[in-house]
């Protein structure tokens, strides 16, 4: 039986340290609860990605990739830890695509290698979205999963490195700017999703979990514990 096509998937991650992780959520939940919830996000995201047979998943670690929490999670899910370079999100994304695709620009792909970057802030993302992204990259240069806040929960490229010139990160214009910076490329867009960074994202998450009983089981368990007052806030 032949091996499925190689599809590198990099899950952006940081150590779930209280007071340093999910600081906007911490304003609502408290430092320890926000860190615990983020750890559940990360585990649900990894489980989803690993359920896709062709996905070759790596934990793309900000800060110290040898942090005990990151090491424990990576070992539990049997994925390698890859350190993120310093710099803004564009520089860290660029490093992912250069690692797999070389240095050509996305408007004129240098190879057929596909690569996908995923945040760990969208724990309810279904495996189907990752499958859809891989299929889209068989015919397009770039694929994005738009988030409700104007950013994206997934970005993929085929054969080349997207441009991030002039992108206003962490704003409602982020995906719009990335699209404009790569206007010569062939784009495909996935079904929209949402990031859980703020009180509004947390509200959307609660609604989603109430209507989809199979979604994000680790996140559901963590929220149940937080709501029951079992987590320090």
Q: What percentage of the chain carries pLDDT values higher than 90?
A: 89
pLDDT, tens digit (0-9, with 9 covering 90-100), for 171-188: 999 999 999 999 999 999
Number of CB atoms found within 10 A of residue 194's CB? 21
Domain boundaries, the chain: 7-226
Find out whether 7 and 56 touch, Cβ atoms under 8 Å.
Answer: yes
- CA gap 226, 111 in Å, rounded: 47
> What pairing do the DSSP bridges indicate for beta strands 142-146 and 152-158?
antiparallel
Residue range 44-56: average pLDDT? Answer: 97
Nearest-angstrom CA–CA distance, 208 and 30: 22
- Could you tell me which CATH class the domain 7-226 is placed in? alpha beta
Answer yes or no: is pLDDT of 151 > 90.
Answer: yes
**18-32 tens-digit pLDDT:** 999 999 999 999 999
């Amino acid at each position: 039986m032949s091996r499925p096509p190689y599809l590198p998937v990099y899950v952006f991650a940081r150590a779930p340290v209280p007071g340093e992780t999910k600081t906007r959520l911490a304003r609502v939940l408290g430092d320890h609860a926000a860190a615990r919830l983020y750890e559940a996000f990360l585990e649900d995201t990894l489980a989803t990605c690993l359920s896709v047979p062709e996905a070759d998943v790596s934990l793309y670690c900000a800060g110290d990739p040898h942090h005990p929490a990151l090491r424990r999670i990576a070992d539990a899910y049997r994925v390698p830890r890859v350190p993120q370079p310093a710099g803004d999100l564009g520089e860290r994304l660029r490093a992912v695509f250069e690692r797999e695709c070389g240095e050509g620009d996305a408007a004129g792909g240098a190879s057929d290698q596909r690569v996908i970057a995923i945040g760990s802030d969208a724990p309810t993302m279904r495996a189907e979205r990752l499958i859809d992204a891989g299929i889209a990259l068989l015919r397009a240069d770039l694929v994005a999963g738009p988030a409700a806040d104007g950013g994206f929960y997934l970005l993929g490229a085929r054969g080349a490195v997207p441009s991030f010139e002039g992108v206003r990160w962490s704003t409602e214009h982020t995906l719009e700017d990335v699209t404009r910076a790569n206007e010569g490329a062939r784009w495909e867009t996935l079904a929209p999703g949402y990031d859980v960074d703020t009180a509004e994202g947390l509200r959307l998450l609660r609604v989603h979990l109430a209507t989809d009983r199979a979604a994000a089981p680790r996140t559901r368990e963590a929220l149940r514990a937080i709501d029951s007052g079992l987590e320090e806030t």
